[in-house]
Amino acid sequence: MNVELWYLEESRLFFCTKKAAQCGFGILLLCCMLTGCGKETVSLTEPADPETEITEITTTAAAEKEPSYLCYVKNLDGNGKLIASVPHFTQTETYLTACESLAAVSMLRYYGVSITPEEFIEQYLPVTDYPMWSPEDNLLHGEHPQKYFLGDPMAADGYGCYNGPIAAGVNKIADGLAIEMNGTSLKNLCERYIDIGQPVLIWASMNMDPVIPGHSWLLPDGEEFTFLCPEHALVLIGYDDACYYFSDSMKEAPIVSYPKEQVETAYLAFGRMAVIFDPARLKDVPEGMRAEHPAQVIYGDYEYEPEIPEIEVIPVPEETEPAPVQVIPETEFPPAPATEPQPEVPPIPEEPPVPEEAAETTVPVITEDHEPELP
């Protein structure tokens, strides 16, 4: 309900109460107003971050049933937090360019939704063709990754997609379950969601490598679009003073960490795109897709100590000077072994002088008009 309408409605109720009191019915109507007349009490929650203008209006009944995932949050050294129960998928064999879908399925499974990567890709993910070359203008033409996954998620040459198609696919399962986030800092995402046990799907680059321009093509509206590389999506599950922790489908380890500065740079390059899930919408998931899971919807306080698997730490590359070349002094070389004296080789005799050639004999020349006399 809109807050202004609520205030107007309450004001009208007060006016009616005052008039009714003059007629002798004030006490009865005042009791109705104080009890809300059967309506749910409305509370206004102010946005925690000034850069994201969000006004949430929740009812008291909904707040009482808000699921809690705090039991899955592990405290790390310092002020760090880690969600240790997020399922992990890898894309190295079958889902070669399906990082966005695998991250979405990881979060769905965390919240107790029974679904496989194949089912999400085939039934829910909006997919379109690769950008195609046009002989008319000799240019590539294609869709925007904010609307579709471009190419084949199972193939090595698939392009990828942004948070729009992922949110659209998840919301086919339960309307409003996925919420697109754009422009929110990682610090605020951690404080709002990681701290209360809710993972976040973010867009960055593979291995947090530098982002470079890729292929460009014309969109249906004629605008030129450039795909950034190497685009990647992964699930943010924790942080500490130095690193952010992820379920990264590019890695075999279920939990990896990257230095904060590298993550923030890669995250900013893709416009600070993210997707969160609204646990209050899990009630709308079809019953056939609800499954038992360690991180299913929980009400109340439970004691739980999650097991943290081994974390693969990605170190910060440092510029190091080449190791000095070790020079071995000559005195450390072993002396050459002694050899026995060899017999002297006799000198080769000189060749005798060549005798001068004998004088050439004169051979008479026979011509046509002269014949030699015969003896």
What pLDDT digit, counting tens, does each position of 316-355 carry?
556 545 444 444 444 444 444 444 555 565 566 566 665 5
Q: Which pLDDT score, from 0 to 100, does residue 55 have?
A: 30
72 and 142 both lie in a single domain = yes
The pLDDT of 147-172, averaged and rounded, is 97
Give 300 or 357, the one with higher predicted confidence: 357
127 and 227 both lie in a single domain = yes
Give 366 or 257, the one with higher predicted confidence: 257
265 and 142 both lie in a single domain = yes
266 and 191 both lie in a single domain = yes
329 domain residue, yes or no: no
102 and 176 both lie in a single domain = yes
Q: Amino acid letter at 48?
A: A
Q: Which pLDDT score, from 0 to 100, does residue 341 have?
A: 53
Distance CA 94, CA 233 (A): 17
The pLDDT of 2-31, averaged and rounded, is 38
Helix axes 3-22, 26-34, angle to 10 degrees: 160
The pLDDT of 183-188, averaged and rounded, is 98
Distance CA 203, CA 201 (A): 7
At 27-51, the pLDDT tens digits run 433 344 444 433 333 232 233 343 4
* H-helix segments, 35-98: 60-64
Give 8 or 296, the one with higher predicted confidence: 296
118 and 262 both lie in a single domain = yes
Inform me whether the pLDDT recorded for 111 exceeds 70: yes
58 domain residue, yes or no: no
302 domain residue, yes or no: yes
22 domain residue, yes or no: yes
Tell me the residue range of the domain where 181 lies: 65-313
Q: How many domains does the chain have?
A: 2
Distance CA 237, CA 76 (A): 12
107 domain residue, yes or no: yes
Residue written as tokens 């659209």?
A: 168
Which pTM was predicted?
A: 0.66
171 domain residue, yes or no: yes
CA distances from 197 to 191, 277, 297 (A): 10, 11, 12
Which of 294, 313, 332 is at the close of a domain? Answer: 313
Inform me whether the pLDDT recorded for 219 exceeds 70: yes
| Rounded-to-10 torsion of CA 177, 178, 180, 184 | 90
Q: Amino acid letter at 81?
A: K
Exposure class string for 212-248: b at 16+ Cβ within 10 A, else e: eeeeebbeeeeeebebbbbbbbbbbbbbbeebbbbbb
The pLDDT of 203-227, averaged and rounded, is 97
Cα end-to-end span (Å), the chain: 152
Q: Domain holding 239: CATH number?
A: 3.90.70.10
Q: Which pLDDT score, from 0 to 100, does residue 351 have?
A: 60
The pLDDT of 230-236, averaged and rounded, is 98
248 and 301 both lie in a single domain = yes
331 domain residue, yes or no: no
108 and 217 both lie in a single domain = yes
Please tell me whether residue 111 adopts helix, strand or coil conformation. Answer: coil
114 domain residue, yes or no: yes
Question: If we measure between CA atoms, which residue out of 160, 164, 174, 176 comes closest to residue 211?
Answer: 160
164 and 129 both lie in a single domain = yes
295 and 188 both lie in a single domain = yes
234 and 269 both lie in a single domain = yes
Q: What percent of the chain has pLDDT over 90?
A: 56
Question: If we measure between CA atoms, which residue out of 304, 346, 34 comes closest to residue 296?
Answer: 304
Which of 263, 290, 313 is at the close of a domain? Answer: 313
Give 59 or 287, the one with higher predicted confidence: 287
Which of 271, 292, 313 is at the close of a domain? Answer: 313
Low-confidence winner among 144-148, 161-165, 285-289 (lowest mean pLDDT): 285-289
Q: Which pLDDT score, from 0 to 100, does residue 63 have?
A: 36
Inform me whether the pLDDT recorded for 298 exceeds 80: no
Q: What percent of the chain has pLDDT over 70?
A: 60
93 and 232 both lie in a single domain = yes
